[in-house]
Amino acid sequence: MKEWKRKIKKRMNFTMCTVLAIGILLGNCSIKVLAEEGDKVIPCGMPIGIYMQTDGIMVIGTSAVMGLDGLEKEPAKDIVKAGDYILGYNGVAIREKEELLQMVGKSGGEDAVLTIRRDQETLDVRMQPVTTSLGEYKLGIWVRDDTQGIGTMTYIDENGNFGALGHGISDMDTGELVAISNGQLYQTQIRSIIKGESGNPGSLAGVICYGKDSQCGDIFSNTQCGIFGTVSEAFLADVNQEWVEVAEKDEVHTGEAVIRTTLDGQRNDYTISILEVNASREGDKKELVLQVTDPRLLDKTGGIVQGMSGSPIIQDGKLIGAVTHVLVQDSTKGYGIFIEDMMR
The 10 Å Cβ neighbour count of residue 266 is: 8
SS3 state of residue 190:
strand
Q: State yes or no: is 294 an active-site residue.
A: yes
SS in 3 state form for 299-323? Answer: HHHCCCCECCCCCEEEECCEEEEEE
| DSSP label at residue 284 | S
Region class of 124: left (phi > 0), else alpha (psi between -120 and 50), else beta: beta
HSE-CB at 332 with a 13 A cutoff on CA atoms is 13
Q: State yes or no: is 273 an active-site residue.
A: no
Q: Which of 309, 311, 331, 341 is catalytic?
A: 309
Q: How far apart are CA 31 and CA 147, in angstroms?
A: 21
Q: How far apart are CA 213 and CA 333, in angstroms?
A: 38
Q: Which of 107, 145, 157, 167 is catalytic?
A: 167
Q: Residue 183: what residue type?
A: G
Q: State yes or no: is 63 an active-site residue.
A: no
216, 9 Cβ separation under 8 angstroms? no
Q: Which residues are tagged catalytic?
A: 167, 294, 309
